[in-house]
Amino acid sequence: MQWDDAAATPVPLPWQVGRVGGALGALGALLLAERERWALWFPAAMGAGVALYFSLDHEPSPWLGGLGLAAAAALVVLAWRRGHSIALPLGVLAFCLGFGAAELQAALAAAPVLARKLGPVMVEGRLLAIDPLPEGARLVIAPRHIDRLDAARLPARVRVRLRRDDPALAPGGFIAVRAMLYPPPAPAMPGGYDFERQAYFERLGAVGFALGPAAARAPPAGAGPGIFATAVAALRTGVTERIRAVLPGPSGAVAAALITGDTHAIPPVEAAQFRNAGLAHILVIAGLHMGMVAGIVFFAVRALLALVPAIALNHPTKKYAAAAALLVSFGYMLLSGATVSSRRAFVMIGLMLLGVLFDRLSLSARAIAWAAVAILLMTPASATGPSFQMSFAAVGALIAFYEAMRPRLAAWHRQAGAARRFGLYLLGITFTTIVTTFATMPFIIYHFNRFPLYSIAANVLAVPVAGFWIMPWAILACLLMPFGLEALALEPMRFGIELVAAIAQHVSSWPGAVVDVASPPPFALALLAVGGLWLCIWQRRWRWLGLLPIGVSLAIAVFARPPDILVSSDQRVIAVRAPDGAYWLSSTRTERATGAAWAQRAAAPLGPAWPREGEGAGGALRCDAEGCIYRARGRVVALERDAAALAEDCPRADLVVSPAAARR
């Protein structure tokens, strides 16, 4: 640097100005060369706005989202009227749109939540849904009356577990059940599964269990016949019951999951085998299932219309087939419960079918971008869950991979015979599995703390069975169900389900099939998502710069250390980390689920309970009748059992955890 004595400020040398200007010019040229991809950053900016809202530790002012959105819209209009690029203002608008959508959804979902344990009480109301379980069922009730609760504090919805399933119950009817009710539980630790937040957005104000069977009640005066959602729930329940009547046991539960999206009845052992083999996605209705349904309906309708010459020669049969596939796909989405993955798959399939109807080419990357925008607008809270994150990560990575590989794959197919085409199909399954495995691995680790090592082998064996055998029979079963002939299709479907289940059981039994991994910090996951978006959205060589944030996030995850001390929200149990990584609990008689969640999140074993007297946790813990002293990383923590020890421990400990308030 050279200094101008008069101004006493640094003056850049000409070569420095030229270097900065050249770098900015190169960056601008790259951005302009990829301007057709700019629109794909719109849902990413919306997601950032949603993430900011849910990362706040307090509720923002109710006018903040609307004010920010109005200001961003004004910025876009101003830039457009002055002839400037509106790309950056549109990004700001997308960010504000995501933040505002999350704030609006939170406001619309607000409903009373039970403040404390209540019961036994009589719950009376409309039965909204029935979820079959391996033993019993779960009822979702819109209560009209709960003992000891006035109307102002009545939850919008209550979920109660029945010990025994009752076939006489049907969604839409009114019931009464005696139950114990509890507030929706908070997450076991920061960053853990937040059922409390999920329940809030489902307007679920209480959960509990029934103390006896549910009894039907006559509809109260003025009660309507039921809403559309209740009718769909009744249809789902009826279809599920008919499937399980033909296919009892695990096969029927899996068949119901593939047709109606109801996975609760799958026995825990079978569900764990699917997860450990990397085949859990087969049980969740998503792109594979929606694509097969749309494809089968499209080609079947077009083939049938081609049999009638008067129609085939004078009408656009391709468009008729696309319209039929669109309607059936929409019905399948509703029948499956309209989950995040099924909504995303329907939007993408729907955009492609609309492209056929209007003679327009539908771009895959644009399709997933519009699907993300639609879901973020309708249910922004879903962006915080694993279904949204894993679904879009997998599909986005697949689209980016096949965009890059399309010329080479097309050349291979042009030169291939029948045997080689089948080999290319298996290669495609392998590529798809590898890409989706790497794309979803960070989210699997963050949310579930486990990673299936042999998922590629399992998917190569199971996906063709699911796509070419199970799903066609599932569609035929739905078509035959109005005539009571669903068994003709469900029995062959059972064979495919049992084959896939056998693959899952075999692969999950291999040595080291599942690796337990501690959850990385949320910041590392966000950084990895940014790098992944950079890799998938851009198409030129600078896309590889996305590996930098991915590498940094992996380094953060590798060197992250689980918490040394954990305290439950009700202060009933405390855990300390031993030098070998195991968590020792203050009590193993209470809050077992909390302790298990802590151990799972840290991928750590659970040690025994704290000793009443003496040492524990590998010498890091020393206890007596009044409490324990825990030493870790050069710090001393006093864990009190008796408030009388506060006077002695406060001057000597770096931190005091006490069941009684330390007033002075």
Query: Which range, of 139-143, 390-394, 528-532, 548-552, averages the lowest pLDDT?
Result: 390-394
Whether pLDDT at 294 is above 70: yes
Assign 481 a pLDDT band (cuts: 50, 70, 90): very high
pLDDT higher at 71 or 172:
71
Burial (CB < 10 A; 0-12, 13-18, 19+), residue 274, is: buried
Q: What mean pLDDT do residues 318-338 have? A: 90
- CA 430 from chain centre, in angstroms, equals 24
User: Would the pLDDT of 3 be above 50?
Assistant: no
How does DSSP classify residue 60? P
DSSP state of 634: T
Work out the percent of the chain whose per-residue pLDDT is above 70.
94
Q: Cα(first)–Cα(last) distance of the chain, in Å? A: 58
Task: Grade residue 196 by pLDDT with cuts at 50, 70 and 90.
Answer: very high
Q: Is the pLDDT of residue 186 over 50?
A: yes
Nearest CA to 604 out of 512, 517, 511, 514 is that of 517
Q: Which two tokens stand for residue 419?
A: 């045997």
pLDDT at 1 over 50: no
Q: How far is CA 400 from the centre of its chain?
A: 21
- Rounded to an integer, the average pLDDT of 258-285 is 89
3-state SS class at 304: helix
- Given a cut of 80, is residue 213 above it in pLDDT? yes
> 529 pLDDT exceeds 90?
yes
Question: Coil, helix or strand for 182?
Answer: strand
Chain segment 424-468, per-residue pLDDT in tens: 777 877 888 888 888 988 998 898 888 898 988 898 889 889 888
Give the pLDDT of residue 433. 81
Distance of CA 86 to the CA centre of its chain: 33
- The residue among 84, 160, 152 whose CA lies nearest residue 121 is 160
Model confidence, pTM = 0.83
**Do 375 and 338 meet the contact criterion of CB atoms below 8 Å apart?**
no
Whole-number pLDDT of residue 415: 73
Give me the pLDDT at residue 200, please: 94
| Summary mean pLDDT of the chain | 86
Q: What local confidence, expressed as pLDDT, does residue 169 receive? A: 84
Report yes or no: 598 and 608 within 8 Å, Cβ to Cβ: no
> Phi, psi at residue 585, to the nearest 5°?
-100, 145
Residue 221 has a pLDDT of 64
> Positive or negative, the Cα torsion across 352, 354, 355, 356?
positive
pLDDT at position 223, please? Answer: 58
Tens of pLDDT, residues 617-656 = 888 999 988 889 999 988 999 998 887 888 888 888 999 9
Question: What is the Cα–Cα distance from 550 to 538, expressed in whole angstroms?
Answer: 15
Strand duo 514-516 + 450-452: pairing: antiparallel
pLDDT at 337 (0 to 100)? 81
CA–CA distance, 219 with 223 (Å, rounded to integer): 6
* Residue pLDDT, tens place only, 11-20: 454 445 456 6
Residue 173 has pLDDT above 50, yes or no: yes
CA 302 vs. chain centroid, Å, equals: 36
> Residue 323: is its pLDDT beyond 80?
yes
Instruction: Determine which of 120-129, 144-153, 232-241, 287-296 has the lowest per-residue pLDDT on average.
Output: 287-296
- Strand pairing of 137-146 and 174-182? unpaired
Structure tokens at 505: 């059981």
Task: For 570-604, write each residue's pLDDT tens digit.
Answer: 778 899 999 999 999 988 777 778 888 899 899 89
Is 23 strand, coil or helix?
helix
Strands, E assignment, 183-229: 204-210, 215-217
* Residue 361: predicted pLDDT: 58
Q: What is the pLDDT of residues 332-375, one digit of tens each?
A: 988 888 777 788 788 878 888 888 888 775 557 888 888 889 88
Higher pLDDT among residues 127 and 425, named by residue: 127
Q: Compute the average pLDDT of residues 508-521.
A: 90
The pLDDT of residue 9 is 47
Which three-class secondary structure string do you get for 578-611?
CCCCCEEECCCCCCHHHHHHHHHHHCCCEEEECC
23-35 confidence digits (pLDDT tens):
667 777 788 888 8
What three-state secondary structure class fits 44? helix
pLDDT digits (tens, 9 = 90+) for 398-411: 899 988 888 887 77
Label each residue of 553-578 as H, E or C.
HHHHHHHCCCCCEEECCCCCCEEEEC
pLDDT of 477 reads 93
